[in-house]
Amino acid sequence: MIAVHLNRTLQIFGRSAVESLKTNNLLPTSSFLCSILTNRMASSADLQRIKARSEETDRILAELQGQIEAVRKAAVREAGRGEEEQLVKENEAIRREVLALKKALALAEIGNGVRQVKMPTKGDLSSLSASTASAPPVVNGSSAPAPEKKQQAKSENAGKKSKPEQKPDAGGKKAKTEKGGKGGKGGAGGEEGKAKKAGAASGGDNADAAVDISRLDLRVGKIVDVEKHPDADSLYVEQVDLGEGKTRTVVSGLVKHVPINAMRERIAVFMCNLKPAKMRGVLSEGMIMCAVGPEKTEILVPPTDSVIGDRVKVLEFPGTPDGQLNPKKKIWETLKPDVRTSASRVATYKGAPLIIEGKGQVVAPTLADCQIS
């Protein structure tokens, strides 16, 4: 009990109060009591020191944990840096491989007659919206200038029809003016007929023009229908849309080189001013342009955004195509040796590329440095 009371007294008054009591002889001087008091006071001080050391230890441990975490993150970051660089390199290699595969796929599709469609860019869309905003107002579902165009077309058609519509006279015979007029009659008509005959004899070519590729009428066309020649297993008979309002028949010997399904709906380049000639009984009105290799033949491919009727030209050789090549002058046969694909598969004439202005070059799917015919 004495120890309990002393402990409570120590807690209430503290060390200074006990020392004061001992000094004034208010407490017993028994060595037993003094030892108890001293032990109690020492235990309290030790507890305070232990508590302070515990708090200091917790603080040091927290700092150490923070430093360890920082070191761990730095080590992970350093270790991941090399891995990140490796991933970047692998991604770049994969990107190049994908681009190469896409290009190979596009060439394969072109080789099989699948037309490549160019996706519009932001610039194309913005220009389209600007042109739409500046377009003339629409009246009754059509633009304002449409009636003028229709009227002009009607007048042109009327002019064309009025020339050949020379009906026979009452006796059922044609007017003498059609035959050039006998005995001085219809002299003007006779002169006109002679001029037409002279033009036909010359083949409609430019007599004074230089013999270069500008004499050829090369245009983009679309094969809208194709079938095998009824009398020749190696020939196709194609119906080609060249933007003329009607189709032309073109006969080509591509059965052994291009499947018929790859011919249908195909966009290609055609020579349009050859003199029509019969091939095994079918009149051919043009020629499809192809790169001819030692083992295979490929149809030339125009730019992806080309349209039917686009003219193919060589900027280094400007000029106007002949209306129809004169077979006797052998213009195509003269030009043919210089019309080839380059090492990069671009169709060229004397090394200058065949292009559609503003759209790109004409190319062969795979054949390089080959004759074009």
Transcribe 285-352 into DSSP letters. --EE-EEE-SS-EEE-B--TT--TTPEEB-TTS-----SS--GGGTHHHHHGGGEEE-TTSBEEETTE
Phi, psi of 289 (to 5 degrees): -90, 130
CA distance 321 to 271: 11
**Among 27-36, 132-141, 189-198, 213-222, the least confident range:** 189-198
In a domain, 353, yes or no: yes
CA dihedral 87→88→90→92, nearest 10 degrees, is 160
pLDDT of residue 255: 93
Q: Cβ distance 289 to 241 under 8 Å? A: no
Selected residue with higher pLDDT from 350 and 169: 350
Confidence of residue 141 (pLDDT cuts 50, 70, 90): very low
Do 74 and 217 lie in one domain? The reply is no
Place of tokens 């923070």: 66
What Cα–Cα distance (Å) separates residue 79 from each residue in 31, 90, 214, 349?
A: 69, 17, 65, 58
Confidence of residue 72 (pLDDT cuts 50, 70, 90): confident
Q: How many helices (H) and strands (E) does the chain have?
A: 7, 18
Residue 161's H or E segment, with its range, is: helix 146-162
- Asked if the model's pLDDT at residue 239 lies above 80, the reply is yes
Question: DSSP assignment of 65-100, as one string?
Answer: HHHHHHHHHHHHHHHHHHHHHHHHHHHHHHHHHHHH
Sign of the torsion formed by the C-alpha atoms of 356, 360, 364 and 368: positive
Last residue of a domain, one of 78, 112, 144: 78
Query: What single DSSP character describes residue 174?
Result: -
pLDDT of residue 39: 66
- Asked if the model's pLDDT at residue 358 lies above 80, the reply is yes
CATH number of the domain to which 248 belongs: 2.40.50.140
Last residue of a domain, one of 37, 60, 78: 78
In a domain, 351, yes or no: yes
pLDDT of residue 86: 83
- Asked if the model's pLDDT at residue 135 lies above 80, the reply is no
Centroid of chain to Cα 243: 24
Mean pLDDT across the chain:
77
- Asked if the model's pLDDT at residue 64 lies above 60, the reply is yes
In a domain, 170, yes or no: no
- Asked if the model's pLDDT at residue 181 lies above 70, the reply is no
In a domain, 101, yes or no: no
Q: Read off the pLDDT of each residue in 132-140 and give the average, rounded to a whole number.
A: 55
In a domain, 109, yes or no: no
Residue 299's nearest CA partner among 274, 328, 270, 323 is 270
Confidence of residue 175 (pLDDT cuts 50, 70, 90): very low
Selected residue with higher pLDDT from 170 and 225: 225
Sign of the torsion formed by the C-alpha atoms of 179, 183, 189 and 195: positive
Q: Are strands 347-349 and 352-353 parallel, antiparallel or unpaired?
A: antiparallel
Place of tokens 């035959």: 179
**Maximal CA-CA distance, the chain:** 176
Q: Is 360 helix (H, G, I), strand (E, B) or coil?
A: strand
Last residue of a domain, one of 78, 104, 135: 78
- Asked if the model's pLDDT at residue 334 lies above 90, the reply is yes
| Rounded (10°) angle between helices 31-111 and 2-23 | 110
- Asked if the model's pLDDT at residue 345 lies above 90, the reply is yes
Contacts of 24 (CB under 8 A, 6+ apart): none
pLDDT of residue 155: 53
In a domain, 164, yes or no: no
Q: Which range of residues forms the domain containing residue 57?
A: 2-78
pLDDT of residue 226: 95
Phi, psi of 25 (to 5 degrees): 55, 35
In a domain, 46, yes or no: yes
pLDDT of residue 193: 46
Q: Report the domain count for the chain.
A: 2
In a domain, 221, yes or no: yes
Residue 334's nearest CA partner among 216, 223, 163 is 216
Q: Read off the pLDDT of each residue in 59-71 and give the average, rounded to a whole number.
A: 90
Most confidently modeled range among 95-99, 206-210, 325-329: 325-329
Residue 312's nearest CA partner among 366, 268, 280 is 268
